[in-house]
A = this chain, B = another copy of it.
Amino acid sequence: MIKIVIDTKGSDKGPSTIIRGASLALQKYPELSVLLVGDELLIKTECQVLGMPMDRVEILDAPGEITNYDSPADAIFHKTESSMLKGLSTLAERDDLFGLVTAGNTGVLLTGAMRYLSGKERVRPALAAVLPAANGGFTCLVDTGATIDCTPQMLHHFARLGSEFMRETYAIESPKIGLLSNGAESSKGNKLVKETFPILEADESLNFVGNIEGSNALSGDCDVLVCDGFAGNQVMKVTEGTATRIITDIMKYAHRTESDEVKKLAFHLMGVYDIGSLGGGNILGIAKPVIKARGNAGETAIVSIAGMFVNMASNKAMFDIEKNKI
């Protein structure tokens, strides 16, 4: 059995959608049980309506809520009764809980994760995204926006965290580490990339494959793509923007030609390139798995993330933060 904490608040789509996602996840994964955090009465009612298996559901009442207007520094002290922070502190305290998923405020989540789950050193965690690669595998992009301005030491840390994560979660023995640059040659890069390159090259614990340019970011040439949070945000959002635009074009074409095949194609592509429904952001560098779902996360996102937790648990992916210290 694996038990995960689900923050029912924080999604733009409201708690009912998140609870429906939890219900679907319980149906799909018989080894799963959930701790639902939020308004107890609302959760109880929804569970009844959905006929959820209550022997696999625990409810934790948390009347408060983190909004997108809360600053991390304030929230961490004054909103400990919010569903997100109560969920995180409970995850840290109880050995029977494996991980947590929330769609709420990223800044508060990172600060909360650092506060409750990073041990004594309080190192800022990284935010990674596991994205489907063109070769059928997955690429872990890190960092995707937790730390916008980075040092070479931070990128080195991200490389180690990403390598560990892909080994544990996807059972890749020696994950290939790429460094996002403006060209594949080792001489290419901005100041940060040029300073990071020799550090990654010198670290024998990493399977560093060199610079990767944007056109190959998700080709599958590497298992972990390392970059600062600004560049990682661009890779995510430009990919999404381009995919959305092309799919919109295809939909228009389908309407014009009334072709069923084209319509089917558009729906297929929507599924493949709906980054919002894919896994969400994995917080790396803390003691237990925490996943940030997109702000507009719905049922599909929750089911998909529950699947990631199940996958991690079966690979015994308990994160050893001491091992990743630099």
> Residues on A close to B: CB < 8 A?
134, 145, 148-149, 180, 182-183, 189-191, 193, 213-219, 228-231, 233-246, 248-250, 253, 257, 259, 261-262, 265, 268-269, 272-273
Partner of A231, one of B229, B234, B262, B273: B234
Q: Which residue of B lies closest to A191 (CB)?
A: B149
A254 to B252, CA, bound (A): 18
Q: Which residues of B contact A242 (CB under 8 A)?
A: 218, 238-239, 242-243, 246
Complex CA gap A52/B100 in Å reads 70
Q: A148-B182, A243-B246, A246-B269 are in contact. List 7 more A-B contacts (CB 8 A).
A: A134-B248, A180-B234, A215-B240, A242-B246, A253-B265, A262-B265, A265-B265
Contact call B189/A148, Cβ cutoff below 8 A: yes
Q: Is the CB of A214 within 8 A of B234?
A: yes
List of B residues within 8 angstroms of A241 by Cβ: 214-219, 239
Residue of B nearest to A243 (CB): B242
A70 to B116, CA, bound (A): 55
- Assess the B229–A253 pair: CB atoms within 8 A: no
Task: Tell whether, in the assembled complex, residue B229 and residue A182 are in contact, meaning their CB atoms are under 8 Å apart.
Answer: yes
The interface centre, meaning the residue of A237, A259, A272 with most chain B CB atoms within 10 A of its CB, is A237
Bound-complex Cα distance A309 to B32 (A): 63
The answer to whether A233 touches B214 (Cβ under 8 A) is yes
**Complex formed: what's the CA distance from A217 to B233 in Å?**
12
Are A234 and B233 closer than 8 Å at their CB atoms? no
Contact indicator A182/B230 (Cβ below 8 Å): yes
CB-nearest residue of chain B to A181: B230
Give the residues in chain B near A272, CB-CB below 8 Å.
249
Decide: B233 and A235 in contact? CB cutoff 8 A.
no
Q: Is the CB of B246 within 8 A of A246?
A: yes
Task: Out of B214, B262, B273, name the residue touching A238 (CB < 8 Å).
Answer: B214
Query: Which of A234, A248, A265 has the largest count of B CB atoms less than 10 A from its CB?
Result: A234
Contact yes or no, A190 B228, CB < 8 A: yes
User: Can you report 26 residue pairs joining A to B where beta carbons are below 8 Å apart?
Assistant: A148-B190, A149-B190, A149-B191, A190-B228, A190-B230, A213-B233, A214-B233, A214-B235, A214-B236, A214-B237, A215-B237, A215-B241, A215-B244, A218-B241, A218-B242, A219-B245, A230-B231, A231-B231, A231-B234, A238-B238, A238-B239, A238-B242, A239-B241, A239-B242, A246-B273, A259-B259
In the docked arrangement, what's the CA distance between A261 and B265, Å?
A: 11
Determine the chain B residues whose CB is within 8 A of the CB of A218 once the complex forms.
241-242, 245
A268 adjacent to B243 (CB under 8 Å): no
> With the chains together, A272 CA to B240 CA distance in Å?
18
CB distance from A234 to the nearest CB of B (A): 4
B134→A233 contact, CB < 8 A: no
Q: Distance (Å) between the CB of A196 and the closest chain B CB?
A: 13
Give chain B residues whose Cβ lies under 8 Å from the Cβ of A243. Answer: 242, 246
Which of A134, A180, A214 is most buried by chain B, counting CB atoms within 10 A of its CB? A214
Contacts of A231 in B (CB 8 A): 230-231, 234
**CB within 8 A of A234: which of B148, B238, B259?**
B238
A228 to B239, CA, bound (A): 19
How many whole Å from A156's CB to the nearest CB in chain B? 19
